[in-house]
Amino acid sequence: MNLPSLAGLRATRRAALLALSLWATQGLSPAWADAATPPGAQAALWAVAGQEQPALLETLRALVNIESGSSDREGLDRISELIAGRLRDLGGEVNFIEAAPADLYRMEDTPSRPGRMVHAVFKGSGQRRILLIAHMDTVYPRGMLAQQPYRVEGNRAYGLGIADDKQGVATVLHTVALLKRLGLNGYGQLTVLINGDEEISSPASRKTLAQFGREHDLVLSYEATRVGGDKLSLATSGIAMASLKVVGRASHAGGAPEAGVNALYELSHQLLQMRDLSVPERGLKVNWTIAKAGVVRNMIPPEASAQADVRLLRVSDLQALDRELQARIQRRLLPGSEVSVSLENRRPPLEPSDAARRVGAHAQQIYREIGHELQIDDRPEGGGTDAAFAALETRAPVLERLGLQGFGAHSDKAEYVLLDSIQPRLYLGLRLIGDFAAGRVPGPN
Q: How many CB atoms lie within 10 A of CB 5?
A: 12
Q: Quote the pLDDT of residue 33.
A: 47
pLDDT digits (tens, 9 = 90+) for 289-342: 999 999 999 999 999 999 999 999 999 999 999 999 999 999 999 999 999 999
CA–CA distance, 228 with 233 (Å, rounded to integer): 14
Question: Before 165, cis peptide (omega within 30)?
Answer: yes
Q: Which of 52, 137, 165, 400 is catalytic?
A: 137
- The answer to whether the beta carbons of residues 418 and 273 sit under 8 Å apart is no
CA–CA distance, 197 with 386 (Å, rounded to integer): 10
Question: Residues 6 or more apart from 14 whose CB is under 8 A from it?
Answer: none
Residues of the chain with pLDDT > 70: what percent?
92
Alpha helices in 65-135 (DSSP H): 73-89
- The answer to whether the beta carbons of residues 177 and 52 sit under 8 Å apart is yes
Q: What is the mean pLDDT of residues 5-29?
A: 41
Question: Residues 6 or more apart from 373 whose CB is under 8 A from it?
Answer: 230, 364, 367
Q: Quote the pLDDT of residue 31.
A: 47
Q: What is the mean pLDDT of residues 205-234?
A: 96
pLDDT digits (tens, 9 = 90+) for 269-303: 999 999 999 999 999 999 999 999 999 999 999 99
| Residue ranges of domains in the chain | 6-236+350-437, 239-346
Q: What is the mean pLDDT of residues 178-190?
A: 97
pLDDT digits (tens, 9 = 90+) for 59-81: 999 999 999 999 999 999 999 99
CA–CA distance, 106 with 102 (Å, rounded to integer): 10
pLDDT digits (tens, 9 = 90+) for 116-137: 999 999 999 999 999 999 999 9
Q: Decide whether 6-236+350-437 matches 239-346 in CATH topology.
A: no
**Between 53-64 and 73-89, two packed helices, what is the crossing angle to 10 degrees?**
150
DSSP label of 401: -
CA–CA distance, 318 with 344 (Å, rounded to integer): 10
Domain 6-236+350-437 indexed as CATH 3.40.50.620: no
DSSP label of 146: G
Answer yes or no: 198 catalytic. yes
Q: Which helix (H) or strand (E) holds 270?
A: helix 263-273
**pLDDT higher than threshold 80 for residue 197:** yes
Closest to 361 (Cα-Cα) out of 437, 430, 436:
436
Q: Which of 52, 164, 165, 198 is catalytic?
A: 198
Question: Residues 6 or more apart from 201 whose CB is under 8 A from it?
Answer: 107, 239, 346, 347, 384
Q: What is the mean pLDDT of residues 357-377?
A: 96
Residue 228, classed as helix, strand or coil, is: coil
β-bridge pairing 375-377 and 231-233: parallel
Residues of the chain with pLDDT > 90: what percent?
85
Residue 99, classed as helix, strand or coil, is: coil
User: Class assignment of domain 239-346?
Assistant: alpha beta
CA–CA distance, 428 with 387 (Å, rounded to integer): 18
Answer yes or no: 303 catalytic. no
